[in-house]
Structure 1
Amino acid sequence: MNDLVSIVMPAYNVQNYIGKSIESILLQGYKNWELILIDDGSSDETLKVVESFACDDNRIHIYRQLNSGVSKTRNRGLDLAKGRYIAFLDGDDFWESSFLEEMIARIDQSRAPMVYCGCVSLYRNGSKKLHSKRFSYAKGNILPDVLLGRVSIANGAALFIKDFLIDNNLKFAEGCRSGEDFEFYIRVICLTHVDVVEKDLMVYVQRSNSACNLPWNWNLIDKYYSLQRVKYFITGNYNKNDKQIVMHALDLQTGQWIYRFLWKAIKYGYKKEVIELLKDELWYNPLKQISLEESRYKDKLKIKIILSKNERIWSLISCFR
């Protein structure tokens, strides 16, 4: 167990966080790694921070590019990787010191192309949420568990066999501004069995200005197109006996996302745009379906309000939380 691990780290304006991310790699018990760090057009001192680390360790390789988005950046890192194993870690998150050691031991033992672990969400006030308290662990075919919300995989909490990703052309969807992580991991677990290390070995830092915590904006519509690509991929590549359950779970997840997106869109004044979207059965039908299956009164009422297409009623939405 001494094969090279390629760690791909995209970095964009994370000068206050990336030092800790890199230090967590330097502290790994497993030492045979390369860090492919790609600065995605940062306008702060991110590059200066990473260069200070690279001067002292030739395992750290720095690349610069014009801002291209996280998906294209990770894909570039995958193309540059020389290792047998691949791991992704964002420039504001970090690992426990045993992450690589334990993940590699499990992936070698199980011969699975992918292994994942739990994570800890760390908030600005110092509070934490443990993955192990919120989700279950599963191995083998975990696609149904992920789509049903029983299992969650955080980006940065997984290790892959590089050849498996390359052979199956598994990359992040470039140009996608929301949902790219979800789409990538669903594609992977659709094609293979996975294993798990049942420990929280990765720390996910919840920054107020990170991409997932920014105020609502219309770009979040990209998650819808990501869900549609996922449906197409599963339809063509998943042939297990529980396919009907899997497709139903994905349809419910899509409907729930549409509900949340449209509610916020109306709240932020995109009423005309929502009216146009509801004319499309690919938007309307999933929403109608979850209106029949939703058991919580408050959510059922919100869905009914959206489906009413009544702009006078919609004007009151700002009164709802």
Structure 2
Amino acid sequence: MPLVSVLLPVYNAERYLGPAIESILTQTFTDFELLITDDGSSDRSLEILQSYAAQDTRIRLLSRENKGLIYTLNEMLEQANGEFLARMDADDIATPDRLALQVQFLRQHPEVVCVGGAFDLIDPQGRTVQWIPMPEHNDEIQQMLLIGRTIINHPCALMRRSALQQIGGYDPDMKTVEDLDMLLRLGEIGQLANLPDVVLKYRFHPNSVSAQNILFQSQMAERACQKAWTRRGISGYYDSPQPWYRPLPEPDSQQQFWHHYGWWAFCNGFRLTAAECGLKAIAAKPTTLKSWKLLACALIKPIPKPVSNLQTVLQPEKSV
């Protein structure tokens, strides 16, 4: 039996699917199976998946009608043979030594039931915009989870299959926050950790979540926290602001998104990307001075030293 089962649910992901699959198939760690479920895609995803499955026997492909992410994850949990489960999304890219580093860590730390890691934010074109380190130790991770912040990025996670089975898998009632709820429950039977190493290139999209879903997700996250407070017998508080990288349709939210995205791109040397973002921020809200300053910096200012820390993701400061 393989040591690791990689869980890759797919729904209409034809644009980025190839690089995601190849990043797993080319891992330096090779003792794995790649479980892929096509959850009723209407684009070319299934055709692409069938092509890869025909070339590599480590791929176990299932295709059926759409049943949603949580159903799919629990279905894959039942199918998995590995001692460890690695989550993967269809638009991200795993670093070549991701599985090797995470498996080694869990073998060396039997008290840890789930380990994530740092990640790079990449844009739709695959350009690195920012490096995001994550809190590494159990106490800090647990504290942030309990206020509603999913501090182990789900597609970065490697979990013990026995631990996920022990908590009953993913809760079907926790739609849009199944990862936060799962991590809170895992944290009640073992320790959580993040590696300092980058394990994933995480692709984000400005239009990936609708305004209605963002509000619903926030409400569900607070509910997941409340359930955890009750289980643990503690008094908690919810403090998870809307992430800037999931903007609302309103001009203020769009401007904020393009401003911070552009500033990060500039700090990483992507002048053209930063200038494009400046123009989009200006288009969203022409009267905002900092959007014009971003555009000016992208065009004429020397590249500064990169600014990379978790706080800029959770509560971004005015950078320009």
TM over 0.5, yes or no? yes
CA distance in 1, matches of 2:211, 2:154: 21
CA distance in 1, matches of 2:83, 2:210: 39
Q: CA deviation at 1:217?
A: 2.3
CA distance in 2, matches of 1:229, 1:148: 10
Note closer, same or farther for the CA distance 1:82–1:156 as it changes in structure 2 (3 Å cut): same
Secondary structure of 1:52 counterpart:
helix
Q: Which amino acid aligns with 1:124?
A: P
Q: CA deviation at 1:232?
A: 1.6
**Pairing 1:171-210 to 2, within 5 Å after superposition:** 171-173=170-172, 176=175, 178-209=176-207
Paired residue for 2:104?
105
Paired residue for 2:157?
158
1:88-127 CA-partner distances (Å, limit 9, x unpaired) = 1011112101000000000000112111111111013524
Paired residue for 2:53?
54
CA distance in 2, matches of 1:92, 1:172: 24
Paired residue for 2:116?
116
Q: Which amino acid aligns with 1:6?
A: S
Paired residue for 2:229?
234
Identical counterparts, % of pairs: 23
Secondary structure of 2:144 counterpart:
helix
Q: Which amino acid aligns with 2:210?
A: P
Paired residue for 1:272?
none
Asked whether the equivalents of residues 141 and 192 of structure 1 are also in contact (C-alpha less than 8 Å), the reply is no
User: Which has the larger share of helix?
Assistant: 1
Count residues in correspondence.
250
1:225 to 220, 223, 238: 220
Note closer, same or farther for the CA distance 1:108–1:52 as it changes in structure 2 (3 Å cut): same
Paired residue for 1:24?
23
Q: Which amino acid aligns with 2:72?
A: T
1:138-171 CA-partner distances (Å, limit 9, x unpaired) = 2356311344588821111111110111122131
Structure 1, unmatched stretches of 5+, are 269-317
CA distance in 2, matches of 1:17, 1:144: 34
Note closer, same or farther for the CA distance 1:80–1:202 as it changes in structure 2 (3 Å cut): same
Paired residue for 1:314?
none
TM-score by length of 2: 0.69
RMSD (Å) for aligned C-alpha atoms: 3.1
Asked whether the equivalents of residues 5 and 32 of structure 2 are also in contact (C-alpha less than 8 Å), the reply is yes
Q: CA deviation at 1:186?
A: 2.3
Paired residue for 2:68?
69
Paired residue for 1:15?
14
1:35-58 CA-partner distances (Å, limit 9, x unpaired) = 110001101100111111111111
Asked whether the equivalents of residues 69 and 175 of structure 1 are also in contact (C-alpha less than 8 Å), the reply is no
Q: Is the radius of gyration larger for structure 1 or structure 2?
A: 1
TM-score by length of 1: 0.69
Asked whether the equivalents of residues 124 and 205 of structure 2 are also in contact (C-alpha less than 8 Å), the reply is yes
Q: CA deviation at 1:214?
A: 3.2
Q: CA deviation at 1:174?
A: 5.1
1:198-222 CA-partner distances (Å, limit 9, x unpaired) = 111111111355xxx2331257425
Q: CA deviation at 1:3?
A: 5.3
Structure 2, unmatched stretches of 5+, are 252-284, 289-320
Secondary structure of 1:156 counterpart:
helix
Mean Cα displacement is larger for which, 135-144 or 184-193?
135-144
**Pairing 1:244-283 to 2, within 5 Å after superposition:** 244=235, 247-248=236-237, 250=238, 252-253=239-240, 256=241
Secondary structure of 1:83 counterpart:
coil
Secondary structure of 1:49 counterpart:
helix
Note closer, same or farther for the CA distance 1:26–1:73 as it changes in structure 2 (3 Å cut): same
Secondary structure of 2:103 counterpart:
helix
Paired residue for 1:131?
132
Note closer, same or farther for the CA distance 1:25–1:172 as it changes in structure 2 (3 Å cut): farther
Paired residue for 2:85?
86
CA distance in 1, matches of 2:152, 2:213: 25
